[in-house]
Structure formats: C-alpha cells, structure tokens
Structure 1
Amino acid sequence: MHAITIPQPGGPEALVWSKVEDPVPGEGEVLVEVAATAVNRADLLQRQGNYAPPPGASPYPGLECSGTVAALGPGVAGWAVGDEVCALLAGGGYAEKVVVPVGQLLPIPRGLGLVAAAALPEVAATVWSNLFMVAHLHPGETVLLHGGASGIGTMAIQLAKAVGAKVVVTAGSDKKLARCKELGADVLVNYREQDFVEQVREATGGHGADVILDIMGAKYLSRNVEALALAGRLVIIGLQGGRTGELDLGVLLAKRAAVVATSLRPRPLAEKAAIVAAVREHVWPLIESGVVKPIIDRVLPLAEASQGHRALEAGEQVGKIVLQA
C-alpha cells in the first residue's frame, strides 16, 4: 500500500507519499481500507518531530479515518467485511489501509458519506470526552471555547448548544467569528481586539464561565482562571501558547475551581473504547437528526497532505481539512 511517511522531521515538505508494507489485523483488530482522513494539529507536531506515536501505534500520521472494513482479526464480533465505518486512531490514518482496535470503530452516521464522516471521530471524541465526561457541562451553564473556528471549536459550539449551554467563543477574525455565530455561538470575542475575560464577565453578568475548553495552555492560564465562575472547570487540551505558566492558587481556591489537562491519543484502549461508545450513544443521534454536522473547510488528495498541513499552520481553515484517499 501507499502511506504518508516522515523520513526526516521538518516542514510540510517532510511528508512523503511512499510505498510501505500492508498492515495485518491482530487480536481484536479490524483492517480498514481508508476512504479519507483529516488533518489534526497533532499531525503537525508529529511531522515536526515533537509528538511521537504511542508505543505499538502506526508510525504514520492520522488520528481518524473513514473507510470500508477489509478484514477482521481474531476475536472480532459485530462487524463484517464490507461495512462502512469511521474510526478513532492512535496513528496511521494517512495511508490506504489501517488497523483499528475494534472498540474505536463507529458506523457511518445515516445521511453522511464516507468523506464527510472522516472529519468526525477525533473532534467528536475530544469534545464529548472533555466537555461532558470531564467538565460535566450542564444545560444553562456558560462555556468559553478558545479557537471557536477550529475543528474542535466548530464541533464544541454545536454540541454545547445542543445541550442548552450558552456559548462564548474566541477567534482571530470577524470572518471566523461570523461562521461561529452561524453554528450557534452566543458571544463572539475577537482575541486580537478584545479581552476575553471582560467579555465573559459582561456576557454573564459577572458570573463567569462555568467551563472553559482551552487549546492555548500557558499563555491563557491565569486569564482563564480569572474568567472562571465559582466552581468553574478549566480543561486544557492544547499547548499552542506554551507549556509553562504561573497560576495564583489563591484565586483558584477562592473560586473552588478545577484545572484539568487531558490528552486522547495515548489513552489505554479501554478508555478510548468507552469514549467512542459514549460518542456513538450521544453524538451520533444528533448528527443523524441534523442538529450537529461536520464542518469541512476543504477536501484535498491524501498524497498532497502537505497542502493541508500548510493551510492548518497558516490558520486559514474553518472546521476540518479532509484528505481523500
């Protein structure tokens, strides 16, 4: 088969379309013939040499895919060769075939094609696990989403609105904020021109954000805590603004607030399977009913994955960049 390899870490040009050995499914695994995958920021980090795949995972980038079941490993039940699926991966999506633990497979939501479905597994699993399984976002609460126009952000807006939360988003342009508003965001903050702490306080009558989903890390740490409500929950899922910051624990104590940092890729198989099962139970019905939809900025050929990396690094996109095999 062919796959995108990284012979040497570097810029987008480091991605090389190469002929490699076909993967073989083992116990509890399924071989999927890939129809499409999507670009995630973790792929950029891996390409740069800053985010190695977990032990035992495919060396190729790609944290999600859609496609057709091509073979079943020993001990697999509930799936058949020919089934159309999408999947959460620890790696290997940038390839013509990939092996997937059976607990990370999902059916294609009714009404969606294979290409659109490739944009779902990583964002759906990330958003559902963090906003609802970790932060326990409830109806009527206020959530602040940094990077509202990103793949994570566009999914988070829709899911938060679906459960009845008030949504505040940050983005770096009025064009991106307008797209967030179309998806249901209630309060729009241009972080280049406005202070998100002040905007959150104004929008909530001084209450603050009950939940914050943060991709920035150190750069926003103190201001995020400042923006939290009493008993607020800050969930950090990215470090685009650095990894080392200062935190006034007195402020955190006074607010009886929580700061949690999570990652999805290196989790044990059982934890990923539980998240995928929750996504299938809670998110898939919303997609099939049309309440939530994948937001796709563009579709590129898989062999031209470098173009997708350049676009994501430049911050050009709204939603996901899909790579079609």
Structure 2
Amino acid sequence: MERINSTTLTPGSFILNGVPGLEDIHIWISLPFCSMYIVAMVGNCGLLYLIRYEETLHRPMYFFLAMLSFSDAVMCTITLPNTLGIFWFNFKEIDFNACLIQMFFIHTFTGMTSGVLMLMALDRYVAICYPLRYTTILTNPIIANAGFITFLRGVILVLPFTFLIKRLPYCRGNIIPHTYCDHMSVAKISCGNVKINAVYGLMVALLIGGFDIFCITLSYTMILRAVVKLSSSDARQKAFGTCSAHICAIVFSYTPAFFSYFVHRFGGHRIPHSLHIIMANIYPLLAPTLNPIIYGVKIQQIRDCVIGLFLGSKGTKSHKI
C-alpha cells in the first residue's frame, strides 16, 4: 500500500512560488540578483580564460582557482536563470524530474566548491611550509585527481537525496515556497516522514562542510605557525598576502551558506520565511560575484595579466577562442 501511495502521490511537476509575501516586488528583487549574476559570470569566465591561455598562470594555485571559478559559474547558472524566470515571466512550474536534477547539481556543486576551498588551503600550506618541494608535491596529475575526487565525493553523497525525495508522498500539494529546488524545501511539502531526509542531510553537511572546514582550519594553523617563524618581515607580508584572498573567499562562501542551512532547519518561525528565501538566493551568488574581484585585487600576477590583456602587452599571449 505504501508503494502505491508513493507512486500515485508523486506530482508530475512542482510550482516554485518565488519569495512568499513579496510577490509584488519580485521585479525589484530581481535587479540586484541579475546584476550579481552578470558580474559573477563575466568575472569567473574571465578568470578561466586567463588561466587557460596565460602561461605564467599555469601553476597549482591557479589551477585550483580555475576549479573554483568553474564551480562558481555552474552554481550561479543552476539557480539564477530559474529564479529570474519566476520573477520576470512567472515561469513557476518545474517538472518533477527536472526539480530532482536541479537539486542534485545544486548540492553536488555546493560540495565541490567547499572541497576546492579545502584544496586551495592545502595548496597554500604546501607552498609556505614546503616551498622547495611545492612543484614536486603538487604535480598536474595530483591536481587533476584531487579535483576529480572532490567532484566524485559530492556525487556519491548527494545522489541519495534524489531517491529520498522520490520515495515521499506529496498529498499536501505541489507548491514549493522557494525559487529553486533544494533537498529540504522539497521534502518539507511532503506528507510523509522526512526524518531520514533531515538526518541524512545533516550527515552530508558534516561529512563535506565539517570535514573541509576542519582541514582548512588545520592548514591555516600550520601556516600561521610557519609564517611567524619567518625572519624577514617582507617574507611574512608576502605569505599573508597570498593567503588573504583565499581567506576572504572562505568567509564569503561559508558564512551565507551556513546561515541559510541552519535557519532552514532550526530557525522555525523566528526568522521571516521571505528573508530565508532571499538569503538562500544570495549564498550561491555572493562568493561567485566577489571571488574574481578579490583575487583580481589581491593577487598581483592576475592583476598584471588583466592589465596586459587590455593593453596588449607582450607578457600576455593573445589567443583566439
């Protein structure tokens, strides 16, 4: 009987309701989101272009930055076009399977972004603590394998979300008070028992986010110990300078993500639902928008490549895409 209910009560599509209570100002809410999306895509695609075609950037640090830019660009594109379709054209209906696919990619690339930030912290640890062995430790095959394992980890851990959602009956309707499909937003409109969904979601958050933050914290603890032992103030300043951009990227990536995660699960009625939905739209956008700006300002080599590209200097190779 349970199998029949799960099948017959699976809707053909869901209705994404946008930001509940703020429907009248959807068009105004969309303007900053659209602006951030444009900046994020231009910035991250620009970084990918520079790293691909500028030979001076063919180093481990910039390969990891390319992974982060790719993950950020994909993350924006998974959520924002759908959100803008709701705000601008009232395209609220999404096919059930399309919703599952969107949910899968959102959580997979969220996990990948977290993993890449961890790899970048390890990269800085090796560069500062073992500078003479840097290129022998972080070879191209090691970098490629690390990126692939990070992506595979997300796929393996997130894939069960789709089966956990599919098993649920949806007798309360098919309206999701959100702008995109994420795991708990879909699960909460079910009339079935979502305890397994909540527990598994928390477990995945700890296995990915908790593990990555632990590794990042450990890496920067070791980096700090190594930096304070440097005799030259110039060397200390340079070491802190190379890490500052990455620390900013970590803060802008994790802070809104954790805010959205914990409010979604533990906020209850204390925080307006509309605020939670807006924050849930900001966190896939904030870091992708700011990261290219931060790295462009903080890292002189990227700044020089950008200037050289626009000025047509000989230091930057010109290529056709």
Give the TM-score, by structure 2 length: 0.24
Task: Point out the structure with the larger strand share.
Answer: 1
Task: Point out the structure with the larger helix share.
Answer: 2
Structure with greater Cα Rg = 2
- Relative contact order (C-alpha < 8 Å, sep 6+): which is higher? 2
